[in-house]
Structure 1
Amino acid sequence: MAFPPRFCLLGPDRWNVSMSQPTSWTLPIRQRSLIGILTWREIATRYRGALLGVSWAIVTPLLMLAVFTLVFGVVLQSRWPQAEDQGVGMFALQLLAGLLLHGILAESFGRAPALVVQQTNYVTKVVFPLEALAWVAALSAAFHGVLGLALLWLINGVWGTGFSLTQLALPLVVAPYLVLLVGLTLLFAALGVYLRDLQQVVGSLVMVCMFLGPVLFPRSNMPQGLRDWLLLNPLTVPVEQFRQVMFHETWPDWTLLASYTFAALLIYAVGAAVFGLLKRGFADVL
């Protein structure tokens, strides 16, 4: 893959790509310009030639909202326990919140095993901070997810439960979730170079996270003995806390959120360490 023209004109010093290969902890800061350029390049490439362009990032959640409202709210007549008296519209909004957060996981983590394999030029022909690929994957997924969540916030504010001060905590709920996804992406991107079957495994894990998490139904619908185990699903805490803050005008569970943040940082550290260890052999394998 050739570098975009801006890279060629600016030269390595202006990319801020260090020959010493910065660690994964400092990379988002030291390589923020490079990560920003690659993220926007990926977003622009996705919509290049499309009639609506980036507007699809807003149109798609609206279509999802309409379809899932029809299927679950009208055909199956499902209701959210805490919103049974608020009609099918409130059910659809709660459902869409879970689907949008799951979509970020599906787009970033789902690409992880092939992330390095599909960028062989970055491995064999140039000096490049490969850890940046994980941040680019997560941020491009977050771009689409956050646009959808912002649209959800607006629709809920106008036609749902309204705007509230607690919604200021929404970024604090989403941020550790993104850090955790970067850690998982780093881990599986490194392993994916050596274990090509991981692509099939990750696809299944993405589906498991949706159906064994509070995306299509609340965790209270699960048998009592399984509810605590669902906390191991990386989606459970952000989805539940997001709904709590968005729709119920309550602050998040700070203790639970702090524990989740600690786990996210730990997973990021493990992913970064494994990636740094295994990337020494990438060139030989690829």
Structure 2
Amino acid sequence: MTDSDSSIVPVKRRNGLRKDLREIYESRNILRSLVSKNLFGRYRNSVLGFGWHFVMPIVMLVVYYVVFTEVRASPISDFWVYIAAGIFPFNFMVSNLTGGAGAIVGNSGMVKKMYFPREILVLAHVISNFIVMVMGYAVILIIIAVTGYPLDWVPLLLLPAILLLMALFTTGYILLFSSLTVYARDVQYILSSVSMVFFFMTPMYFLADSVSGVLGNVIWLNPFTYYIEAFHSMVYFGEIPEMKVLLMCIILPLVSMMLGLAVFRRLKRGFAERL
């Protein structure tokens, strides 16, 4: 291959990515419609409607407070705050791990009947869940502040950045697994089983540093751990997360997006035939 030939590949890749981004922008009305459907469709015929997105986090927090302060005391002080700081981001990541894998398969009718950037299905799934999670987390922070828990607002300034990095990380692995699920439905079922492992191996109910040995190493191999520990630092401990945690929060979405986009772009041409 000559020097001129070797320079063609990256140029084509850049042009292809630029084309995809342009098509996504031109199809923004479809994206907006799908996000709206995800947000409002679930509770369309209920009395509270969209308000259920606020009620559920409050109910969950009340349950955590009663169980872990009155029923089953924990050695971690203000344990309900510790759980609340991490449980909602964790639910966002793990629910997208399982539900996001079916983002393409679950919309097979659209994929087979009309042309649009397939990435929109993934973006709609992530954006709608992200909006719900952010609203719930805002409610939780307000409740924590009202109860008199000493929040340090300086570390909380990093909160929007960590949330966005987590959303990018999530988008990357949804792109990966949703495209693989089109070709092998078993992927979604495997991820449902794996999600249970993440539930027990992510430090939501225990301190990450309290676990040592092989199990402690496994916990830090879990990518979810770094985001949960970042939220614990900012909300519960009132500290800026450790440098290794911050670096991993930045590196993970970069790797996730690069891998997810590469696989998704390669496989998406066969979606309609496989569905």
Q: Distance in 1 between matches of 2:156 and 2:26?
A: 31
- Alignment of structure 1 residues 101-116 onto 2, 5 Å: 101-116=89-104
Question: 1:111/1:79 Cα in 2 relative to 1: closer, same or farther (>3 Å)?
Answer: same
Deviation at 1:63, TM superposition (A): 1.1
Q: Partner of 1:152 in structure 2?
A: 140
> 1:29 offset after TM fit, Å?
5.5
C-alpha distance after superposition, 1:38-92 (max 9, x if no partner): 2122101012011111211111111111222233332221232xxx3xxxxx211
How high is the TM-score relative to the length of structure 1? 0.82
Contact 2:122 2:175 in 1 (8 A): yes
Task: Please give the alpha-carbon distance, in whole angstroms, between the structure 2 residues aligned to 1:97 and 1:281.
Answer: 41
Match for residue 79 of structure 2? 91
Residue in 2 aligned with 1:63? 59
The counterpart of 2:75, out of the listed 68, 74, 79, is 79
Q: Is the 8 A contact 1:22 1:129 kept in 2?
A: no
Q: Is the 8 A contact 1:113 1:196 kept in 2?
A: no
AA at the equivalent of 1:144: V
Gaps of 5+ in 1: 1-19, 85-89
| SS of the residue 1:205 aligns to | helix
> 1:267 maps to what in 2?
256
Q: Find the partner of 1:248 among 237, 257, 275.
A: 237
Length, aligned pairs only: 259
Name the SS of the counterpart of 1:50 in structure 2.
coil
Partner of 1:122: 110
Which residues of structure 2 form unaligned runs of 5+?
A: 1-15
Indicate which of 41, 44, 49 corresponds to 1:53.
Answer: 49
Equivalent residue, structure 2, for 1:12: none
Cα distance, 1:208–1:29 mapped onto 2, change above 3 Å:
farther
Aligned to 1:202: 191
Distance across 2 between alignment mates of 1:26 and 1:185 = 21
The CA distance in 2 between the partners of 1:122 and 1:204, in whole Å, is 28
Secondary structure at 1:47 match in 2: coil
TM-score by length of 2: 0.85
Aligned CA distance change for structure 1 residues 244 and 25 (closer, same or farther; 3 Å): farther
Aligned to 2:200: 211
Matches of 2:89 and 2:272 in 1, distance apart? 34
| Aligned-partner Cα distance in 2 for 1:179–1:27 | 19
Question: Is contact 1:101-1:235 (8 Å) kept?
Answer: no
- Alignment of 1:100 with 2:82, yes or no, is no
Retained in 2: the 8 A contact 1:194–1:285? Answer: yes
Structure 1 contact 179–268 (Cα < 8 Å) conserved: yes
Q: Could you tell me how far apart the structure 1 residues matched to 2:93 and 2:166 are?
A: 9
More deviation in 196-205 or 251-260?
251-260
Match of 1:36 in 2: 32
Change (3 A) 1:38 1:213: same
Deviation string 1:205-260 (CA, Å, 9 cap, x unpaired) is 22221210111222123224332332232321111111211232222234531333
